[in-house]
A and B are shown apart, each in its own frame.
Chain A
Amino acid sequence: MPSRKEKYKTVAYYPGCALEGTAQPYNTSTKAIAKELNLALNEIDNWNCCGAMEVKNIDPEIQTYLSSRVLSLAKHETKQDVVMAPCNGCYHNLKKAEYDLEHKQKSRDVVQKISKKAEHPAYEVGEVETIHALDWIKFGYGEEELKAKIKGGLKGLKVANYYGCMYTRPRHIFPEKDQGGDSESTSKPHYMDDLLEIAGAVNVDFAMKTACCGGAHTLSDSDMSTKLVLNILQAAEAAGAEVIATECPTCHSGLEMHQIRALKRLSKQTNVKVIYFTQLLGMAMGLGTREVGLHENVSDSVNFMYDKGIV
């Protein structure tokens, strides 16, 4: 049986819609890291929406189908056994589709029916493994090997690692987590902490690692989202963090935008920077700010990284 290092060396890449839009810097930095670490990303041709938002509310089975199509393409078109999704929403939905197809006959029936109509092979449970970008780097490249790739490092940068809600919840769709050993924890996730510590960051004790960012309220009740985000930003600062590291486009854009909104609407200023963990890793490996797309973040942290002597 191949090791995770062998399996994750070449993966089907599913960026999802966020990484082509608001989270473009996450896409840029993920690809830059892949190149630097000599990990192959084979982007799935003709991928579709995972069913993230609207579809799930209208018909959860259609959402399962949409995610299953991505998994089917990864297997049958991209010819890979592993699909890597950096977006928490996509990652969550592919995992959920896997779970639903294993446990619900109705989901299997709908996927069979629509796949037949769409003239592509219906996805079968277990054909591919869905992983997050954190798994991909931690196991596909390896922590010891990563240590050797760190050039300048993050020079003791104080980081609060923010995972958001979709990376670990609901617990039942992540059967590989909470298994002890080197598995991820759903209550106290630590993979991002592990990688950034290797990169030279000092991880602060952050009490809101998985607290709700109010992403679901952004459109319907923006003030509530602003309050929730402000609370997270203040908690990170109270814990001594200079940067909040993110691994979810929804959380990231919410933190960035509501940080500005909190100042405008509530006159509450916070100075903590919001940076994707892939950007931090890339800079620790010696990549420039443009190579990791730092200048594209809403939260301007280019000068800050220069001031810290990291780039």
Chain B
Amino acid sequence: MRNFAQLEAALEPELAPIEPVQAATFLLHVGEEALENWLMAKDRKPTDQLREGFRILALHRQGAKGDPSFNACRETARELVYHYNLVRLEPDHTETASRLHMMQLLARHLVFFIGGKLQEAGLGEFCCAAKPVRLNSN
């Protein structure tokens, strides 16, 4: 399992030379790995089950259990799945390149959000910036 810096680096290169479905699968897996990192950090074994046909959605649900603020990345995971479906169903579509680009941005958002939330538990919970600042200043 790659750490967040490695996941962020993996999202940097251009995806153009890769076959579309392969690229979409790769990006979906990056999202899954980000969620696995979250679960492992919480001493939970990442599930291998599927939800609505996707492991990433099962992993998100597992990650949000007992931590409602983690739902701040739920729609990001769902949008990743939505775009994956578009690419998989219509790999030759004229918009495939832009759909893959959007998947790249969505996967990156998951990596940033989850990586950030492991640093500051309050991310995704309204206005929690004051907490770490206050603690640091004490």
- Please report A residues at the B interface, Cβ cutoff 8 Å: 52-54, 56-57, 89, 92-93, 165-166, 169-170, 187, 207-212, 214-221, 224, 227-228, 231-232, 234-235, 238-239, 250
Complex Cα distance, B79 from A208, in Å, reads 8
Contact of B129 among A208, A216, A232, A239 (CB under 8 A): A216
From residue A289, how far is it (CB to closest CB) to chain B in Å? 30
Contacts of A210 in B (CB 8 A): 75
- Please report B residues at the A interface, Cβ cutoff 8 Å: 68, 71-76, 78-79, 82-83, 98, 101-102, 105-106, 108-109, 112-113, 115-116, 119-120, 122-134, 136
Let me know if A221 and B119 touch, CB within 8 A. yes
Let me know if A224 and B129 touch, CB within 8 A. no
7 contacting pairs across A/B (C-beta < 8 A) = A53-B128, A207-B105, A208-B76, A214-B116, A215-B127, A216-B122, A220-B133
Complex Cα distance, B79 from A165, in Å, reads 15
Let me know if A53 and B127 touch, CB within 8 A. yes
From residue A30, how far is it (CB to closest CB) to chain B in Å? 21
Complex Cα distance, B7 from A227, in Å, reads 14
Contacts of B98 in A (CB 8 A): 238
Given the known interface contacts A214-B123, A216-B120, A219-B130, the answer about A228 and B113 at a Cβ–Cβ threshold of 8 Å is yes
Contacts of B131 in A (CB 8 A): 57
In the complex, the number of residue pairs spanning A and B with C-beta atoms less than 8 Å apart equals 112
Contacts of A165 in B (CB 8 A): 72, 124, 126
- Given A57-B128, A216-B129, A235-B106, 5 extra CB contacts under 8 A: A207-B79, A207-B82, A208-B76, A220-B133, A221-B116
Complex Cα distance, B13 from A80, in Å, reads 57
From residue A91, how far is it (CB to closest CB) to chain B in Å? 11
Scoring B73, B82, B83 by chain A CB atoms within 10 A of each residue's CB, the highest score goes to B73
Given the known interface contacts A224-B119, A228-B112, the answer about A218 and B75 at a Cβ–Cβ threshold of 8 Å is no
Contacts of A219 in B (CB 8 A): 129-130, 133
Given the known interface contacts A217-B120, A224-B119, the answer about A57 and B73 at a Cβ–Cβ threshold of 8 Å is no
Contacts of A207 in B (CB 8 A): 79, 82-83, 102, 105-106
